[in-house]
Amino acid sequence: MGTPDFAVPTLETLLALPETQVVAVITGPDRPAGRGRQLQASAVKAAALTHGLPVLQPTNLKDPAFQAELKSYAADLQVVVAFRMLPEAVWNMPRLGSVNIHASLLPQYRGAAPINWALMHGDQETGVSSFFLRHEIDTGDLILQDKIAIDPADDFGSLYDKLKVLGAALARRTVVAIAAGTAPSMPQPPTPHLRSAPKLTKETGRLDFTRPAAELANQVRGLAPVPAAYTTLPDGRGLKVYRAQVAADLPASTMPGTWATDGRHHLRVATPTGWLDLLEVQLEGKKRLSVEDFLRGTKLELDSIA
């Protein structure tokens, strides 16, 4: 069970396992996409069809007709990656239960956007967890976990690509252990200061220059390339920000939210802890550009910096 491309490596891995037979794939309904708004299959559906697998696309997981069809496959185990919350009648259907591959080191970052929030909090480590599904989201007994260091250059896009591969490898180990009857099942440890990973909203991306520069730089990397952090230029035009860094050599010396540029290499905004350098941006209706190319082709009436 999965929908985006994050789940595809896990599907491919399970198809290659001699211990398993994938009897069906459950994914989201086709969605309008592109300028023509034509219906487009999910990445998981496209992968499943190339292997000739039956594909179920329920709009309502509580629909008795869907549940009856699902039951007809008599699956021993369901593997869930980046799908929806399942009703108990679905996750409790297989004799071995349902396992989820989650892109965090649970119990940290329970929720819909764990990769984004780990980056936005400036974490130096993350990973993937497999666990048995239970009633409350992302709280079931842990099976296995794998850790990975977060590179300072990582943004959401690069870390997503790393974790979808790591998650597939974890899924393989998890399913092999369950098939052999050797899979551990441990309650998630009680942990103070739990961080959640709620669904991203438009407000999540808004840059607030009254916050410290380092927090803003992490916000940018945690949302790049999609949905992207954003702000408004002093002249009112919208600007998406894909890369930013703290200008460590410049102390805070002016009102937070003040913009400045040298017209060639730097576009900066003041924060309470110093300046934030914007490195890669996209003006509304325009292409994504390095700040040098952006300044070369965009007239800005801002304070000057040396």
Same domain, 109 and 257: no
Tell me the C-alpha distance between 64 and 71, whole Å: 10
The pLDDT score that the predictor gives to residue 305 is 66
pLDDT digits (tens, 9 = 90+) for 169-221: 999 999 999 999 999 999 999 988 999 999 999 999 999 999 999 999 999 99
Closest C-alpha to 124, from 135, 108, 112, 110: 108
The pLDDT score that the predictor gives to residue 135 is 86
Same domain, 103 and 227: no
Same domain, 92 and 33: yes
Number of domains in the chain: 2
Same domain, 240 and 172: no
Residue 168 CB partners (closer than 8 Å, separation 6+)? 9, 10, 12, 13
Q: Which amino acid is at 230?
A: Y
Q: How far is residue 210 from each of residues 32, 207, 257, 272, 281, measured CA to CA in Å?
A: 38, 9, 7, 6, 20
Same domain, 237 and 168: no
Question: Domain containing 32 — which CATH number?
Answer: 3.40.50.170
Question: Domain containing 260 — which CATH number?
Answer: 3.10.25.10
Residue 84 structure tokens:
């929806």
The pLDDT score that the predictor gives to residue 252 is 61
Same domain, 173 and 207: no
For the chain, which ranges sit under pLDDT 50?
306
pTM of the model: 0.94
The pLDDT score that the predictor gives to residue 251 is 65
The pLDDT score that the predictor gives to residue 142 is 98
- Whether residue 270 lies inside any domain: the answer is yes
The pLDDT score that the predictor gives to residue 89 is 97
- Whether residue 185 lies inside any domain: the answer is no
Residue 293 CB partners (closer than 8 Å, separation 6+)? none
Q: Please give the residue range of the domain that contains residue 264.
A: 202-304
